[in-house]
Each structure stands twice: as C-alpha cells, then as structure tokens.
A and B are shown apart, each in its own frame.
Chain A
C-alpha cells in the first residue's frame, strides 16, 4: 500500500494510505489517513476488512502500534470501518470516535475492547498529542450521520466521501487538473449525495474554515486554488440526481 506524507511540521504529520496494488479489482480504492502529533496517532476512516493487513503493515512503518489510541469513522460504511473487529483485537485501550447515530450499527463489526465515543450531531473536538482536531458536521453527505475532520494547525480537512472521485489506479495523489478531475467525481456526487441543502450547508461551513487541503476518502486531494474551486463546483452541482432523472 502506498503511503504519502501530505503535511509535516515538527512531530505533527499527516500521512495518507491508499492505491494498494494488491487490492482486489471489485473493491473500491480508499484513502486512509494517519495523523501523528506529540507521540500520539489517530487513524481516520481506517478502512475495510479486506485491506486490514496491508494497512496495518503500512501504519507500522510510521508509528508503533502502541501509539494508536484513537480511531475515527466518518460514517458506518464497510469501506470506512469494517476492519474495526480486527483493530479491536490488535489495539489496546483505544477509542473510536464516530457518529452517535451509527453506534448500534458500527458495533456489528466487532467492538469489544475499543471504547466507542459517540460524536453528537453538532460535532466536537479532540486532542491528539496536544493538537486539536475538529469534527465538522457533514450529515447526509452521504450518510445521515456523517462528519469531516478539520485540523486547524495543518489546515487540512479530511472530507470523507465529499470530494470523492473514482479515479484510475495510477492517478496522482493530488488533483492536477481540476477540469479533467470533474469527470471522475461528478457522477459519484450526483448519485451518492442525497441532499442539495445538506451539501450547501457543508460548503458554507467549510468556507468559514482556513483550509489549504481537502483530502477525501476516495480519489485525489485538492490543495491550493483547487480548494475554493472544488467548493464552488460542489455548490453549483445538483445532487440526488436519480430523483430528477
């Protein structure tokens, strides 16, 4: 599994894992995020059960297993968190932060040792090695209980399925040509996102943040000018397309 450091400042680091060359063909490619700070680490959307072993191997290249005390799941989908039952066994005294709405569902993946911390609808904040991470509501994008994660120091927003794109296996980690990239993400957003109102509220919320990178759970990362470009594009896009087709 490929790992890319997308931010590094002292011991504060963001690493993205994905583009696993051994991934089975019919499994959607996913980006897993590791945030390290002050000797602690959090895994954001740690991924599906199918890629647990390569993911675990990739993670221990960067941090000892013992330093992972925190997990985050933006929502309940299997590509986000079906590996939970395995993390539950290999991690000691870890906490999973995930939407309160999905607790009864996510626990079906296996959550005996890990403490489930339900995130309230309005979001919240946690500290990793003294660094704040904010849970930004992204409800109905696409799950009815859904959060993005914002790091104000790194100015990175891990946006979950917002900004996701179904790209070729060898595509670069960062969006290079926004206009070309639209073809990979338009259909995804039109079909998977169920609410124009929810989408526009999220855009409004994100515009108030100081964001230099938007890193989705599928596809490529938006940085620099592509961040406002993406927000404008998303605002103008009509979603829930099946209803009007």
Chain B
C-alpha cells in the first residue's frame, strides 16, 4: 500500500455523519438564546440609572442606598461588557459551526462521488481526493478555532452567572434598604430592586440553559476529534 493510498484510506474511513450530529443546530440555538441576554443586560443598566436618579432626588433620605446604587452601576457596566463579549463569541461559534456544516456536506458529497466513480481513471479522481484531504484539514483547523471560542464563551457564561448571583444579593439588600426609606421614596426604590432581581434571574436562567447546550455541543465536537 502506498503512502498516498494509505492517507486516502484514512480520509475515506473518517465518517462524517451529519445526520446524527446536531452540533451546528445547538451552536446556532446558543447564539439565538444568548441574544436575549443582551436585552436583559441593558435592562439592568437602565435600572442602575433609575436608582442613581432616585438617590439624587431623595438626597439625604437615601444615603444608605447610595453605595448600593454605585455597586449597581458598576455591575451594570460589567454586565454590558460581558454581554457584548458573549454576543461576539456566540456569533463566532455559530458562524464556525455553519461553515463546518457546509464543508462537511461537500466532503460527504465528494466521498459519495468517489464511491460512485469506481472504475474512473485514477488520475481523474486525484483532484477529488486532494479536495477531501484539504477540506478535512480545514475542518480540523476550524474545530480548533471553534473550541477556542466555545471555551472562552463558557468562561464568560460562568463569569456572568457570578455577576448575576451578586446582582440578586444586591437586589435583596436594596429591598431591605428601601423598606427603611421614607414611604414616598420607598415604593420607587423597591421597584428598582425588584426589577434588578427579575433581570438578574432572567439572565441566570438563559445563561444556565445556554451553558448546558454549549456543553452538549462541545461533547459532540469531541466526537469529531
């Protein structure tokens, strides 16, 4: 057996089963789900600004609320930064997954053609074999890039989860503080705290689901290695 035929044999043996592999669907779902997180992140930012305005209006009557407000603003800025990074990485994972699908589909078709082309002159099918080899090499490189993006995305999801847990804690403290403020301001501060909690919980729920989907997708990518 020549080195060339051995190499080609290895490539032929590598089964690219797109039917069973739903990686691209999971990757696109993650990107779609995480796009909702951006809206919640912006809502957190808005609540932080509301809190700042309320503190300014209440003056000395809301002194206890001021450090919480400062923390909320900081949290909101961090959330927006994280959300933007998450959006970039999720889109990268999704695009890479779709590109893989296109390449692997072409490889499948070429491999099918190689089987159907039995009896064709060997020199005529050389180009097809070269294509299959180059496409699989390209796919390997793409898997590496995809893994980099997916791993980074996973760490960003973990980071934002911690932020949102902190946001829930801040919301609880803010509610306690709101109860101690003069009644005419209390309802507004309470509303800000409740909204902050709702947004943080919504982000947490989405992030948890996306994290789980991403883990499934990464496991599938592992099957390709």
Contacts and interface: CB of A to CB of B under 8 A. Distances in A.
Interface string B98-121: 000011011001101111110111
A85 B98 CA distance: 13
B124 A90 contact: no
Interface stretch (A31-39, A56-64, A73-81): A56-64
A89 B112 contact: no
B220 interface: no
B135 A89 contact: yes
B110 A90 contact: yes
Interface string A45-79: 00000001110111011111110000000000000
A57 B109 CA distance: 10
B184 interface: no
A86 interface: yes
Given A86-B105, A89-B106, A90-B106, A60 B117 contact: yes
Main secondary structure of the interface of B (DSSP, over half): helix
A182 B115 CA distance: 39
Contacts, number: 68
A64 B110 CA distance: 14
Given A89-B103, A90-B106, A90-B110, A64 B116 contact: no
A57 B106 contact: no
Contacts of B120: 57, 60-61
Question: Which of B112, B127, B131 has the most chain A CB atoms closer than 10 A to its own CB?
Answer: B127
B102 to A, nearest CB: 7
A89 B116 contact: no
A60 B119 CA distance: 10
B128 interface: yes
Contacts of A58: 116
B116 A53 contact: yes
A158 B83 CA distance: 56
A53 B115 CA distance: 9
Nearest to A55: B113
A123 interface: no
Given A57-B116, A57-B117, A60-B125, A65 B131 contact: yes
Nearest to B110: A90
Q: How large is the interface on B (under 10, 10 to 19, 20 to 34, 35 or more residues)?
A: 20 to 34
A152 interface: no
A64 B117 CA distance: 12
Interface residues of A, number: 18
B59 to A, nearest CB: 61
B103 A90 contact: no
B131 A56 contact: no
A110 interface: yes
A209 B115 CA distance: 42
Given A60-B124, A61-B117, A61-B124, A53 B112 contact: yes
A54 B131 contact: no
A86 B120 CA distance: 20
Interface in A86-128: 86, 89-90, 110
B102 A89 contact: yes
A56 B135 CA distance: 17
A1 B127 CA distance: 20
A90 B128 contact: yes
A86 B109 contact: yes
Contact of B109 (A53, A63, A65): A53
A65 B102 contact: no
B137 to A, nearest CB: 13
Contacts of A89: 102-103, 106, 131, 135
A113 to B, nearest CB: 11
B195 to A, nearest CB: 44
A65 to B, nearest CB: 3
Interface string B117-141: 1011101111110010001000000
Interface of B: 102-103, 105-106, 109-110, 112-117, 119-121, 123-128, 131, 135
22 contacts: A53-B109, A53-B110, A56-B128, A57-B115, A57-B117, A57-B120, A58-B116, A60-B117, A60-B125, A61-B120, A63-B124, A64-B124, A65-B128, A65-B131, A85-B102, A86-B105, A86-B106, A89-B103, A89-B135, A90-B106, A90-B110, A90-B127
